[in-house]
Amino acid sequence: MTKNFALYNEMVALFAGDARRCQHFIKVASLAKHLAESENAGAELVELVEAAGLVHDCGIKIGEEKYGAGHCTGKIQEQEGPAVARELLRRVGYAPEKIERICYLVGHHHTYNMIDGLDYQLLVEADFMVNFYEDGTPKANIAKAVAKIFKTKSGIELAETMFDLKK
């Protein structure tokens, strides 16, 4: 069993009964992995990006417990998520340096002005694409966000195709 297979199961258990949240992190992880592979990232980066996609919103549960359902903002997720992610990643056998990077990504995935690596960029792009669909974002708003935030060739091309932005 791979670490990410075990991590997937840990996240489903964390969000047991909340199918919407489970569907979200599964889609983000899958899309982040796809984008990493499309960018010809090495196996380690692909694994790390997929793991970050799985745990990126793990702070929601504790955030909602502390602040109430509907009041867990992106900043609260960034604040509460790293501690939860650290425990999950440790439990499935991630090395300390990988845990630190993934926790950094979890703690910054709603901060778009300090993206410092391909892993961070891919996670942000994957999360945006899933959110565009889940939130029913208007095409004009998607186009603006893609132009402003997306940097990878694969992410731009996939978003343009998926949301029919070229017309």
What mean pLDDT comes out for the span 35-50? 98
Q: What is the pLDDT of residue 13?
A: 97
Question: Could you tell me the fold of the domain covering 3-162?
Answer: Hypothetical protein af1432 (1.10.3210)
The alpha carbon torsion through 87, 91, 94, 97 (nearest 10 deg) reads: 30
pLDDT of 53-87, one tens digit each?
999 999 999 888 888 888 888 888 999 999 999 99
Distances (CA, A) of 113 to 85, 109, 147, 163: 23, 10, 14, 24
What are the sequence ranges of the domains in the chain?
3-162
Indicate whether 167 pLDDT > 70.
no
Q: Has residue 151 got a pLDDT over 70?
A: yes
With 0-12 / 13-18 / 19 or more C-beta atoms within 10 angstroms meaning exposed / middle / buried, residue 118 is middle
Q: What is the mean pLDDT of residues 26-46?
A: 98
Q: How confident is the model at residue 108 (pLDDT cuts 50, 70, 90)?
A: very high
**Nearest-angstrom CA–CA distance, 87 and 16:** 17
